[in-house]
Structure 1
């Protein structure tokens, strides 16, 4: 994957641990997970709010 081996990934993890600290890693992981989830939802093309009129209007005529 992009030429990263296990030693490179360990070095990156250690740098992230030093910069952010052990207490903030769960928050960063949660935020990353939510952003990936929102990106997947947006890429599917489904809207969260459906504003199309319903077909209940036919009975009112």
Structure 2
């Protein structure tokens, strides 16, 4: 399984270029954090709606 990631990384290096990799990784990390925050917000909204409907 590790070989696939190495292959993908090499292809990304060739396609994107070495100087763009850190910027891309940073943006992917930010997007992942925003996605997680959105999931948590959605979960808390659903939980609060469920609590309201019980009352």
CA distance in 1: counterparts of 2:31 and 2:4, whole angstroms: 24
Q: CA RMSD in A?
A: 1.1
Unmatched 5+ stretches in structure 1: 47-61
Q: Choose from 11, 14, 18 the match for 1:15.
A: 11
CA distance in 2: counterparts of 1:33 and 1:10, whole angstroms: 19
Unmatched 5+ stretches in structure 2: 43-55
Q: In the TM superposition, what whole-angstrom CA distance separates every residue of 1:19-41 from its partner, at most 9, and x where no partner exists? A: 00110001100100000000011
Matched, 1:43 2:43: no
Moved over 6 A (4+): none
Q: Tell me which structure has the larger Cα radius of gyration.
A: 1
Aligned residues: 42
